[in-house]
Amino acid sequence: MDRRHFLTAAAVSPLQPQPVPGARPQLCIFSKHMAQFDWKELGKRSKDMGFDGVDLTVRPKGHVLPERVAEDLPKAVEAIKAAGVDVSMITSDLRSAQDPAARPTFEAMRKLGITLYKPGYWRYTRERTVFQTLVEVRRDFRGLLELGRRYGVTMGLHNHSGGYVGTAVWEYRDLLQDVDPRWAGYYFDPGHATIEGGLHVWRISLELALPRLKMVALKDAHWEKQNGRWRPKWVPLGDGMVDWPEVFRNFARVRFSGPITLHVEYNPKDELEAIAQDLAFMKKHTAAAYGA
C-alpha cells in the first residue's frame, strides 16, 4: 500500500461500519404512541405485540419527566424490563449541557446501562441567519457531546423535515466530521429524508448516515395537495414514498444491529392495531433483508 492509499484508509477506517456476523436490529416502539399506559403496562403491551425494545420518552409530557429522571428512570426501566423488553434508547429534549436535566439524565443512563439517546431539536428562526444558527448549534452540540462522553452515552442526531437543523443530513455531517464516532452519530429517519429528497437525495443522505448509524426511526409519507398547497401526509408503513426494500437492504449491508423504532404519526382510528400492522411490516422487511 502506497502512502496516499494508507493515509486515505487511515482517515476513513474509524467511521466504516464493521460487519457483525448474525447481527440483527432491535425492533422498538416509540413510547409516545403508548402514552396512555404506565411503565408496567407499556412493557407488557410492547412484549405482547412482539417488540424487542422501547424508545422511552424522557422529556416534558413523556413517560419520564426530566425533573424526575434520577428518581423515575430507574423505576421505569425496571418495570419495562420485568415484562421482557429492553429500554434500547431514550428520546430527550436536551439541546445543551446547561440544561438542568442533562447531568441527571446521563448519570441515570450510565447506572442503567442505557447508552443511546436522541437530543432535542435545534431550529432555524427568522431572528438569526442560517450561519448564526449553525454557529450556536455547534457550540451547544459540542457541550452536550462532551458531557455525554464523560458518562459514556452516545448521541443520535435525528433528521427531521421542516425548519430544523439537520433537515439536510449533510448539516449533521459537518457537525460530526471530526467527532469520535463512539459518542455521536445518526438517528436516521428514511421518512423525513424522503420528504426532503424524494427522488434521489434521500439515497445520498442514507449513504452519508450509514457509517455512523446509531438508531433508526421508521415512518412513511407521501405528498398530498391540501387547500391548494402540497403538504406531506403521514401514512402506514408501505403506503408512502419510502423505498423500504432499498432502505432495509442498506441496513443489512452494514449489518446494522441497533434500535429501529416505529413512529405512528398518521392518527389512525385504532392506534394499537396500526402499531401491530406496522410492526408486521417491519418484521417482514427485516427478515427479507437480514434473513429469517
Residue corresponding to grid cell 487511515: 10
Query: Cβ(31)–Cβ(79) under 8 Å?
Result: no
Residue 22, pLDDT score: 65
- Write the DSSP symbol of residue 19: P
Residue count (the chain): 292
Instruction: List Cβ neighbours of 24 (8 Å cut-off, separation of 6 or more).
Output: 257, 286, 290
Q: Where are the domains of the chain?
A: 23-290
Residue 20, pLDDT score: 46
The yes-or-no verdict on residue 1 having pLDDT over 50 is no
**CA atoms of 37 and 44, how far apart (whole Å):** 10
Residue corresponding to grid cell 424526575: 68
* pLDDT tens digits along 145-173: 999 999 999 999 999 988 888 888 888 98
pLDDT level of residue 192 (50, 70, 90 thresholds):
very high
**CA atoms of 115 and 106, how far apart (whole Å):** 9
* pLDDT tens digits along 112-121: 999 999 999 9
**CA atoms of 53 and 203, how far apart (whole Å):** 27
Instruction: List Cβ neighbours of 127 (8 Å cut-off, separation of 6 or more).
Output: none
* pLDDT tens digits along 74-101: 999 999 999 999 999 999 999 999 999 9
The yes-or-no verdict on residue 108 having pLDDT over 80 is yes
SS3 letters for 60-90?
CCCCECHHHHHHHHHHHHHHHHHCCCEEEEE
Residue 184, pLDDT score: 97
* pLDDT tens digits along 16-69: 444 445 688 999 999 999 999 999 999 999 999 999 999 999 999 999 999 999
Residue 199, pLDDT score: 73
The yes-or-no verdict on residue 186 having pLDDT over 80 is yes
CA dihedral 270, 274, 276, 277 (to 10 degrees): 140
CATH value of 23-290 in 1.20.272.10, 3.40.640.10, 3.40.50.1820, 3.20.20.150: 3.20.20.150
Task: Taking residues 116-131, report their average pLDDT.
Answer: 91
Instruction: List Cβ neighbours of 4 (8 Å cut-off, separation of 6 or more).
Output: none
CA distance readout (Å), 189 to 69, 100, 150: 26, 28, 27
Question: Strand, coil or helix: what is 224?
Answer: strand
Among candidate residues 15, 98, 17, 112, the one with its CA nearest the CA of residue 64 = 112
Compute the Cα dihedral for 93, 103, 56, 69 and give only its sign. Answer: negative
232 has which bridge partners? 223
Residue corresponding to grid cell 457509517: 211
Query: Cβ(269)–Cβ(98) under 8 Å?
Result: no
What is the average pLDDT value for the chain, to the nearest integer?
A: 90
* pLDDT tens digits along 226-265: 889 999 999 999 999 999 999 999 999 999 999 999 999 9
Among candidate residues 128, 138, 127, the one with its CA nearest the CA of residue 178 = 138
Residue 162, pLDDT score: 84
